[in-house]
Structure 1
Amino acid sequence: MANPAFDDLQGVERMVSAAPPAQYVVKIHSYSSLSMNSVDRYESGVFQAGGYKWKLVIYPNGNKSKNVKEHVSLYLSMAETSSLPSGWEVHALVRFSLRDQHKDNYLIIQAEAMRKEWHFDAMNFECGFDQFIPLKTFNDARNGYLVDDTCVFGAEVFVTREKSTGQGENLSMIKDAISQKHVWWVFNFSQWNKEFYDSTVFIAGNQKWKIRLYPNGKGSGLGGFVSVYLVSADVDTLPPVTKVFASYSLRLMNQYLENAYTGKGNHWFSALNQESGWARFIPHANLRSLNANYSVKDTYVVDAEVTVLGVASAAL
């Protein structure tokens, strides 16, 4: 039976989730001011997901170019597509969300199971819902979506297939992959005053890597943390479609005890996403602690362990 607060639209699946969207959120204050100031279309900032750049596009009173009325229209649009190779195509699973501020959960709206994947290319770089939610339902504060003239939209994007040459791509997953470790002795750390420093290049899974350390932090760790990342040293010379999937750990060793500050993760490394790690890896206060034993004569030991699990490349 259709929910009377929503249109009974074919091909649309709705559900409720307690978890916030993992990739991007747009919180809009004084939402009514968009219409009052004739803002018919709002584009969010650019965010990255699945190796590509995206943005949310919101039509507060419906997409007039498609003759939509009495609804909010919501779309996902690919950004900066001019940098992609000719013939590119991307297929993705997309979940839009709208926060219920009364129940502190999220209405999830996506294409139903038989039509989940959306296709993006140079002629069709924007996909979404013309009738995302009826304005009557959205504007009623009792529903929790627009409260005190504030609302929260979100999106999650999962790239499932892609091609950029008109020929497709090959994904080779590696069975019984072998881990490789690299140890970096960081000497005279207190004298390091550049933005970042790189270790020597090392090989793991037939790929080149290096550890990158920001002594004074990066991004959210700037000023109070040491930031540490694993960086692909190959991506500048690889074709744009090539991606390397790796599992890795980065450790700052305690030189007297068998323990360490450790971060573990996995990442698709590519020309668009060549580094992965932690902006707030270790606080400066912890690093300087006399009891931590991380520094011996102004020397630290950082190591990386990398396992290449798969490589995606253009099909020949």
Structure 2
Amino acid sequence: MENQNIGVTRSKRDLPPAHFSLKIQTYSLLPKTEVEKYDSGVFEAGGHKWRLSIHPNETEEGIGYISLYLAIAETDTYPEGWEVYADYKLFVLDHLQKKYLTVQDFDMKRFHKDKTEWGFAKLLTLEAFKNSSNGYLVDDCCEFGAEVFVYSRNKEWESLAMVKEPSDGTFRYEMENFSAKAQPSYYSKVFTVGERNWKLRVWPKGNAAQRDKAISIYLNLDDWKSLPPKRALYAKYKLRILDQVSGKHEQTTGSHWFSSSSSEWGYPIFNYDVG
């Protein structure tokens, strides 16, 4: 591998360009037309339309070059302020070695309204290109190519934030006339801890599996629908039944990853002493 200039790499490979190839026959007639450049037909890569632009006779300080550029095409329907980021490689076939000279920038390029093409002004000197021993121009035929890999911003992401001891971490649910409760279960009002909404669910006489055997208590993530798909929320908690006489509270500590498929967690048998 050799550097043509800073930020540009050159190498040769066996594989042909993945997205587009342009074969030119009787190449010597192209400069004679005195056109400044030749634009290829449109090809598609990464959800966008592109074309190659060949400048057959660029000159700098008396030295002639072939310039090759990648241009984004058909952007008339793009929204105001559009921009497309892409990595690209441009190619020239070495017919003798059956390999492709591959020229690539180190940096990803931003295509936008005021900059619709990027490439290499000094792809090859005309002397090197026309020297048949190099294999780029054989029997007056040559081949160029392109690969384009578009950077998409539609990536998935997630954020993990841990709150050690939220300041609003305590909630008290008072149930009056407890022994007369007739419904199977009761929800507390919604309360907020750690920027999430919760509620308690109490089964006074036990849930279905523990009917008339125990009190069942669960912690419920009330706003589980606001969780991103396939995401979970970890919570460590204490559930407690207060002893209003002696202060010997019945308490259980637990933890759980709450999610859309597991928004409620607790204990079907919280306390055997139901009175």
TM range (shorter): 0.5 to 0.7
> What SS does structure 1 have at the residue aligned with 2:76?
helix
Partner of residue 104 from structure 1, selected from 76, 98, 101: 98
Q: C-alpha offsets along residues 265-307 of structure 1, whole Å, 9 cap, x if unaligned?
A: xxxxxxxxxxxxxxxxxxxxxxxxxxxxxxxxxxxxxxxxxxx
Q: Is the 8 A contact 2:13 2:99 kept in 1?
A: yes
Higher relative contact order (CA 8 A, sep 6+): 1
Structure 1 moving runs of 4+ over 6 Å: none
* Residue 12 of structure 2 is aligned to residue 21 of structure 1: no
Separation in structure 1 between the aligned mates of residue 145 and residue 92 of structure 2, nearest angstrom: 6
1:140–1:54 CA distance, 2 compared to 1 (3 A): same
Q: CA RMSD in A?
A: 2.2
Separation in structure 1 between the aligned mates of residue 72 and residue 126 of structure 2, nearest angstrom: 26
Partner of residue 78 from structure 2, selected from 70, 84, 100: 84
Larger radius of gyration between Structure 1 and Structure 2: 2
Separation in structure 2 between the aligned mates of residue 81 and residue 74 of structure 1, nearest angstrom: 21
Q: Is the 8 A contact 1:17 1:106 kept in 2?
A: yes
Separation in structure 2 between the aligned mates of residue 122 and residue 128 of structure 1, nearest angstrom: 16
1:118–1:68 CA distance, 2 compared to 1 (3 A): farther
AA at the equivalent of 1:105: K
TM-score, length basis structure 1: 0.47
Q: Is the 8 A contact 1:71 1:135 kept in 2?
A: yes
Name 1:172's counterpart in structure 2: 156
1:68–1:50 CA distance, 2 compared to 1 (3 A): farther
Name 1:138's counterpart in structure 2: 129
Q: Provide structure 1 residue ranges, at least 5 long, that are not aligned to the other structure.
A: 162-168, 175-316
Separation in structure 2 between the aligned mates of residue 87 and residue 28 of structure 1, nearest angstrom: 36
Name 1:74's counterpart in structure 2: 68
| C-alpha deviation, 1:110, in angstroms | 0.5
| Residues matched between the structures, number | 158
Separation in structure 2 between the aligned mates of residue 96 and residue 8 of structure 1, nearest angstrom: 14
| C-alpha deviation, 1:119, in angstroms | 1.0
AA at the equivalent of 1:157: V
Name 2:5's counterpart in structure 1: 9
Equivalences for 1:257-276 in 2 at 5 Å?
A: none
Name 1:94's counterpart in structure 2: 88
> What SS does structure 1 have at the residue aligned with 2:30?
helix
Name 2:120's counterpart in structure 1: 129
Name 2:143's counterpart in structure 1: 152
Work out the percentage of aligned pairs sharing the same amino acid.
41
TM-score, length basis structure 2: 0.54
Q: Provide structure 2 residue ranges, at least 5 long, that are not aligned to the other structure.
A: 159-275
Equivalences for 1:46-57 in 2 at 5 Å?
A: 46-57=42-53
